[in-house]
Amino acid sequence: MKHVIIIAAKDYSCLKNRDNWELYAEEHGLPDYETIKSDFQSWKQFKKEVYLLIAKNHQDYFYTPKYWDDYERKHQLPEAKNYRSLFGNWKTVQMLVHEGLTPDEIKKKFLISVAQKYPQYLNSQKEWDAFAESHDLPISATYKNHFSSWSKVVEMVTGKKVEEKRYTKEELLSILSEHKAYLITQETWTRVRQSLGKQNASRPLIQKGSEAFGHTSGVYLGARVDA
């Protein structure tokens, strides 16, 4: 009965009710409603098989309900709420569509899939975040939580290795001295740096200074020495 599922998946509106199916079945030489119920144990089970095939055929978009709905509206496919109604919840059908993957692997696959569609915005975290927030997409922090670093994401998507700038102790002292008024705590420095838009500029994190001087207090002491 696999061929019946395949043909039905071409126009899921045929599953709306018995009359729709009988008309569609007659046009395509398929079994009638009662035969389908008998062969699949129930009409609902048949619908689940058809809906699952549709989702698998478009699995590169079957991640979050919103991401799917944005896609299905353009291609006349079942809504996310239809899947939740048939399968009980979104997570259940998502695992069936991405068979063999763990939830974390599905999440990573989703993130990379999104980034691959918009590589022109991967030049910096700041540029990506501005684009992502305006299009309701995952921000750079979400990527870093799953891939450990932004440069790793860029490399996976573009195939280009991102070279991180390395700072000498003298360069670190110069940068930190310029903003020494904010060197109260590591948290304060990070917060101020982000509010000033330094997150994606060529400025080092306080951790870089810690690595160079051996510990955070060394950064503070070095940067607070007046010229």
31 contact partners, CB below 8 Å, separation of at least 6:
4, 25, 39
**Can you give the pLDDT at residue 226?**
40
DSSP labels for 159-195? -PPPPPP---HHHHHHHHHHTGGGTT-HHHHHHHHHH
Say if 214 falls within a structural domain: yes
Q: Is residue 217 part of a domain?
A: yes
- Residues 152, 192, single domain; the answer is no
Q: Is residue 148 part of a domain?
A: yes
Do the domain assignments include residue 163? no
Is 164 inside a domain boundary?
no
Question: Is 68 domain-assigned?
Answer: yes
Range of the domain at 124: 103-158
In a shared domain, residues 48 and 129? no
pLDDT > 60? residue 89: yes
Q: Would you say residue 214 has pLDDT above 70? A: no
pLDDT at 219 over 60: no
pTM of the model: 0.68
Whether residue 17 is found in the same domain as residue 56: yes
The stretch 119-146 carries a mean pLDDT of: 93
Flag whether 140 is in a domain: yes
Last residue of a domain, one of 135, 158, 181: 158
Whether 136 and 192 share a structural domain: no
191 and 135 belong to one structural domain: no
Same domain as 126, residue 45: no
Q: Looking at residues 24-33, what average pLDDT do you find? A: 96
Mean of pLDDT values over 96-102: 95
The reply to whether 23 and 75 lie within a common domain is yes
Do 117 and 132 have their domain in common? yes
Please tell me whether residues 69 and 117 are part of one structural domain.
Answer: no
Q: How many CA atoms lie within 13 A of 145 on its CB side?
A: 8
Q: What is the residue-averaged pLDDT of the chain?
A: 84
Cα dist from 94 to 60, 143, 159, whole Å: 11, 20, 28
Place of tokens 């590169």: 60
Which pLDDT belongs to residue 146?
A: 93
CA 172 to CA 176: how far, in whole Å? 6
Domain count along the chain: 3
Give the whole-number percent of the chain exceeding pLDDT 70: 80
122 versus 186: the higher-pLDDT residue is 122
Q: Same domain, yes or no, for 36 and 123? A: no
Residue 133 pLDDT > 60, yes or no?
Answer: yes
| 128 & 174 share domain | no
Tell which wins on pLDDT, 72 or 227: 72
Say whether both 47 and 13 belong to one domain: yes
